[in-house]
Amino acid sequence: MKFVRTILLSMALLASPAAAQTGGKVISATTISLGTATPGGGFPLYGNAFAEVMNAADSTLIIAPRNTKGSNENIPLLEKGELDLALVAGEPAYEAFASIGRAKVALKILTAIYSNPGMFVVRADSPYKTIDDLVGQPVAFGAKGSGLPILARYVLDGLGLKQDEDFKAIYLDRAGDGPAMVEDGRVAALWGAGIGWPGFAAVASSASGARFIAPSAEEITRIRAKHAFLKPLTVPAGSYPKQSEPIASLGSWSFVLTREDLPDDVAYRLAKALHGVEADFCKKLAQACETTAANTVAAALRPELIHPGVTKYFREIGVVK
């Protein structure tokens, strides 16, 4: 049975958060499952804020976040209809839509959520200052099922490096375990991505402080020559504690994807609710400031990948023709 389901609210449920009334009439609410990732990472942080904002914006929608192993689990869960929506990093989405290493998916984009400039973080007092300095060192590349290790693989491949051969690669059970490993020296560096990413924030806020290592301008050119789908992106100054200068890197956009058969009217309602409260979402979570209708149109690999219900709403507001 699909997870989008209509709940007829009885008088006994009127005190429940799911109950909604309009003009004295009890109305139905649509419960929608949202897959995020392991605790301590950026996806649960975003997913919980997304649910809070959406649930407040439209009382007929109930977004129910659920922790998963991340992008690589979320895609098959969407395909099997076990999730309605899921957060998926740009690289797994790219591979799925391009049928790289797997069959092409028939999933759709609800919204682009935020850009993911990839980089490493090390202790501020460590001797490591470049990617080459990290070769041969233990590096935590993110949670096993997340998209972060995939982004790292593309970046390093563009530099002629192999993630599992040129580094002592460590894959985490929980995204939140990485910062402590940097702090106590179990790893030399933690790989991550995005603005406001919890792992980077934790290291930067620690007693030792942080230094960020991103590809140089010459390295970005080399990487993009091999993997052109990765885009130049910037981490603005002040995105993390004591980060006084902007950091140039590269990466892609993460998305909220939907299962293929999510009804058009539900996708339309979701898009209308979300983009009607863009300013509120931005105030709640800094990285959500990038969750806009315009960014979704720009980030989609092809226009037809956006859900038809979302496209209908975008036409109404003039974002697409």
Summarised one tens digit per residue, pLDDT across range 268-301 is 999 999 999 999 999 999 999 999 999 999 999 8
Question: Same domain, yes or no, for 267 and 312?
Answer: yes
Comparing 31-35, 134-138, 230-234, which segment has the lowest mean pLDDT?
Answer: 230-234
Residue 74's domain comprises 5-114+253-316
> Which pLDDT value is given to residue 6?
39
Is 308 within a domain?
yes
Question: Same domain, yes or no, for 162 and 227?
Answer: yes
Residue 7 has pLDDT above 90, yes or no: no
Q: Where residue 15 falls among pLDDT bands split at 50, 70, 90?
A: very low
Q: Which residue has the higher pLDDT, 29 or 110?
A: 110
Domain boundary among 220, 252, 284: 252
> Which pLDDT value is given to residue 10?
29
Is 321 within a domain?
no
Question: Same domain, yes or no, for 244 and 261?
Answer: no
> Which pLDDT value is given to residue 196?
87
Question: Same domain, yes or no, for 218 and 309?
Answer: no
Distance CA 29, CA 18 (A): 7
Enter the DSSP assignment of 197.
-
Domain boundary among 211, 237, 252: 252
Is 248 within a domain?
yes
Question: Same domain, yes or no, for 145 and 210?
Answer: yes
Is 196 within a domain?
yes
Is 260 within a domain?
yes
Detail the DSSP E strand segments found in 203-283: 210-213, 231-235, 247-258
Residue 115 has pLDDT above 50, yes or no: yes
Match 């973080």 to its residue by tokens.
121
The answer to whether 89 touches 35, Cβ cutoff 8 Å, is no
Determine which helix (DSSP H) or strand (DSSP E) holds 116, and give its type and residue range.
Answer: strand 108-123
Q: Where residue 27 falls among pLDDT bands split at 50, 70, 90?
A: low
Determine which helix (DSSP H) or strand (DSSP E) holds 46, and give its type and residue range.
Answer: helix 42-57
Match 């960020």 to its residue by tokens.
212
Q: What is the mean pLDDT of residues 195-211?
A: 93
The answer to whether 294 touches 310, Cβ cutoff 8 Å, is no
Question: Same domain, yes or no, for 16 and 40?
Answer: yes
Domain boundary among 252, 277, 305: 252
Question: Same domain, yes or no, for 158 and 242?
Answer: yes
Q: What is the mean pLDDT of residues 236-258?
A: 95
Split into its structural domains, the chain has a count of: 2
The answer to whether 210 touches 200, Cβ cutoff 8 Å, is yes
Q: What is the pLDDT of residues 39-55, one digit of tens each?
A: 988 999 999 999 999 99
Residue 137 has pLDDT above 70, yes or no: yes
Q: What is the mean pLDDT of residues 78-103?
A: 93
> Which pLDDT value is given to residue 155?
97
Joined tokens for residue 81: 């209809």
Question: Same domain, yes or no, for 308 and 277?
Answer: yes
Question: Same domain, yes or no, for 129 and 99?
Answer: no
Question: Same domain, yes or no, for 21 and 67?
Answer: yes
> Which pLDDT value is given to residue 28?
75
Q: What is the mean pLDDT of residues 80-102?
A: 94
> Which pLDDT value is given to residue 301?
87
> Which pLDDT value is given to residue 11?
25
> Which pLDDT value is given to residue 12?
27
For residue 75, the domain's CATH number is: 3.40.190.10
Question: Same domain, yes or no, for 127 and 248?
Answer: yes
Q: Considering the chain, what is the average pLDDT of its residues?
A: 90
Question: Same domain, yes or no, for 217 and 266?
Answer: no
